[in-house]
Structure 1
Amino acid sequence: MIELRQINKTYGSGAGVVQALKDIDLTVRKAEIFGIIGHSGAGKSTLIRTINLLERPTSGQVMVDGTDITSLPHHRLQERRRSIGMIFQHFNLLSSLSVHDNIAFPLRLSKQPKAETERRVKELIGLVGLEDHADKHPAQLSGGQKQRVGIARALATNPKVLLCDEATSALDPQTTQSILALLLEINRKLHITIVLITHEMQVIRAICDRVAVLDGGMIVESGDVASVFLKPQHRTTKDFVAQASDGSEAYAGLIDKERGKRTQVKITFIGKQTYEPVLYETMKEMNVPFAILQGTISRLKDTPYGQLIVELHAAGEEADRTLTALRDQGLDVEVLTVG
């Protein structure tokens, strides 16, 4: 659906040149929700704005639905942009227009018939839950309501892609959850491809299928959310995961290492195994006593997962055999300390 090929973006020249993006290769599949996460200054906004060429890359290709849009003449690029909606952190609504007219604005720009515009606006107001606010102006709305208007406006021209530029950063946690739920509903109901950027791992966890981690203008890690979240490799990714952790990593550092022949491990369950007695049955078969020191069950979008800090009353070869048996069950097992 979207493919970025060797995207580079530089600003300035000579000694003052700044490279905002470096050698970006990225593929977003049709109808998925793809997250891009990075700290401030990592290049997130520049990257997402290259997808609709609001930022034209210094080099590289942007492929959208099989077309290299970097090679299109201006009038064809304008046409193509109608298939790419965008919502912004600070809403960018027209303060002099009502909710109805803000949503209608892109339809009027594209000279849609009045009856079709009215039908579409009514449909979108219902989709985003603003039926009682159609005649209000932005100043009369809450932050969450303003973002709902922004989403409806971005959907007005029936885009195939929706770009979200820090769409929840200006919202409180409860409102953020409602906006994320709305984006997820839109993705599932309309099968729109969504690309969002954020600096919050909780946003990625809640609705994304896959994620890319951006650091210093480069993608340093990418993959499905469960793999990246539960097995982070890069330092930056680990920082973000720590933001959303349940504290088990901090606990692991406090485990008493002076307890004799015992081994402490972190065991990760993904999917249906989260709710099955895999640990109990394996340990019973191995005849190894164990204690659960800490545990949590949560979800990554639609995928349940569990993480346990477990102390095995075993060491040496006995512990090694037990760890092998657990891994043979498809569990991810990380040894924290060995007694």
Structure 2
Amino acid sequence: MIRLQNLKKDYIVKGHKTPALRGIDLSIEKGEIFGIIGHSGAGKSTLIRCINLLERPTAGSVIVDGVDLTKLDEGKLQEQRRHIGMIFQHFNLLSSATVGENVAFPLKLAKRPKAEIDKKVKEMLALVGLEQHRDKYPAQLSGGQKQRVGIARALASDPKVLLCDEATSALDPQTTNSILALLLDINRKLGLTIVLITHEMHVIRSICDRVGVIDGGHIVEMGNVLDVFLKPQHPTTQEFVEQVADSSELRAAVAHEKASGERTILRVTFLGEQTYQPILFQTMQETGTVFSILQGTISRMKDTPYGQLVIELGGDAQQNRKAVDTLRQRGLEVEVI
């Protein structure tokens, strides 16, 4: 659906060239939710704005649904942009227009018939749960409701792609979760390809299928969210995983145990139905190994339940090795820390 090839973007700051994107290669499949995570200044906002050419790349190609946008004149580019919706961190609503008028705005620009506009506005407001707010103004809405209007407006033109530029950053955690649930529902109902940027790993973990980590204008790590989250390779990725993994507490616990003598400490990862099965208890019982839990969590990554336990084994060396081997034979991911 989306292919970025050797994408580069330079800015001129005080007469000097400042690279923002340094040769991005990226493919996003039709119907997936792809997340791009990075710190401020890493290039993520520039990257997403290059996808619809709100920022024109210095070099490289942006191919959306088979069309290279960088080769289009302004008229044809505007036509292609109707297939790419976008929502923003600060909503970008027309303050003097009602909710219904905001949703209708792109359709009026496209000179659609009034009856078609009215029908589409009603349909979009029902999709985002704002049917009763059609005649209100943005100032009368909460932050979450404003973002729902932004989503309805972005979807009014029946786009194939929805770009989300820090769409939940201005919202409280509860409202963020409701907006993420709405985006996931829209993705499933409409088969819409969604690209979102964020600096919050919670957002990526909640709804994304794949993720790219951007740092210094480069994609430094990319893959399925489960793989990237559970086995982060790059230091930047590891920082983001710590947002939701309590890694600082884990390091303190491990340091404490190591300081008290020679220890065997494991990180055991459970995926899918394994998460709810007593595999660890059964293994330790069968091998006669004493263990204690230093840290543990059970959560979900989009539709997949997962768990991670950090445990200390209290058996002798032979018992501990047998316990580790048995856990691995039973399909668990086991890392000796």
After TM superposition, is the score higher than 0.5? yes
1:262–1:314: 8 Å Cα contact kept in structure 2? Answer: no
- Calculate the TM-score normalised by the size of structure 2: 0.95
- Matching residue's letter, 2:95: S
2:257–2:263: 8 Å Cα contact kept in structure 1? Answer: no
Distance 2:335 2:4 in 1: 35
Residues 184-235 of structure 1: CA deviation (Å, up to 9, x unaligned):
1111111101000001111111111111111111111111111111111111
- Matching residue's letter, 2:26: L
Distance 2:94 2:102 in 1: 6
Distance 2:252 2:261 in 1: 19
- The alpha-carbon deviation at position 128 of structure 1 amounts to 0.9
2:250–2:295: 8 Å Cα contact kept in structure 1? Answer: no
Task: Specify every segment of 5 or more residues in structure 1 that has no aligned partner in the other structure, as ranges.
Answer: none
- The alpha-carbon deviation at position 260 of structure 1 amounts to 5.8
Matches within 5 A, 1:60-139: 60-139=60-139
- Matching residue's letter, 2:98: S
Distance 1:39 1:300 in 2: 22
Residues 16-58 of structure 1: CA deviation (Å, up to 9, x unaligned):
1100001111111111111100000000110001111111111
Query: 1:284 matched to which residue of 2?
Result: 285
Query: 1:294 matched to which residue of 2?
Result: 295
Identity of aligned pairs, percent? 64
Query: 1:305 matched to which residue of 2?
Result: 306
Distance 1:19 1:329 in 2: 48
- The alpha-carbon deviation at position 259 of structure 1 amounts to 5.5
- The alpha-carbon deviation at position 239 of structure 1 amounts to 0.7
Distance 1:330 1:50 in 2: 42
- The alpha-carbon deviation at position 328 of structure 1 amounts to 2.5
- The alpha-carbon deviation at position 251 of structure 1 amounts to 4.3
**SS of structure 2 residue aligned to 1:19:** strand
- Matching residue's letter, 1:286: T
- The alpha-carbon deviation at position 331 of structure 1 amounts to 1.8
- The alpha-carbon deviation at position 292 of structure 1 amounts to 2.5
Matches within 5 A, 1:200-239: 200-239=200-239
Distance 2:292 2:183 in 1: 41
Distance 2:56 2:131 in 1: 38
Matches within 5 A, 1:32-47: 32-47=32-47
Matches within 5 A, 1:11-22: 11-12=11-12, 16-22=16-22
- Calculate the TM-score normalised by the size of structure 1: 0.94
Distance 1:211 1:252 in 2: 30
Task: Specify every segment of 5 or more residues in structure 2 that has no aligned partner in the other structure, as ranges.
Answer: none
Query: 1:184 matched to which residue of 2?
Result: 184
Deviation larger for 34-43 or 260-269: 260-269
Distance 1:313 1:335 in 2: 14
**SS of structure 2 residue aligned to 1:256:** helix
Distance 1:172 1:260 in 2: 44
- The alpha-carbon deviation at position 63 of structure 1 amounts to 1.1
Query: 1:153 matched to which residue of 2?
Result: 153
Distance 2:317 2:222 in 1: 36
- The alpha-carbon deviation at position 116 of structure 1 amounts to 0.7
- The alpha-carbon deviation at position 282 of structure 1 amounts to 2.7
Flag the 1:58–1:312 CA change in 2: closer, same or farther, 3 A. Answer: same
Matches within 5 A, 1:268-279: 268-279=269-280
Distance 1:73 1:15 in 2: 28
Q: CA RMSD in A?
A: 1.7
Deviation larger for 60-69 or 77-86: 60-69
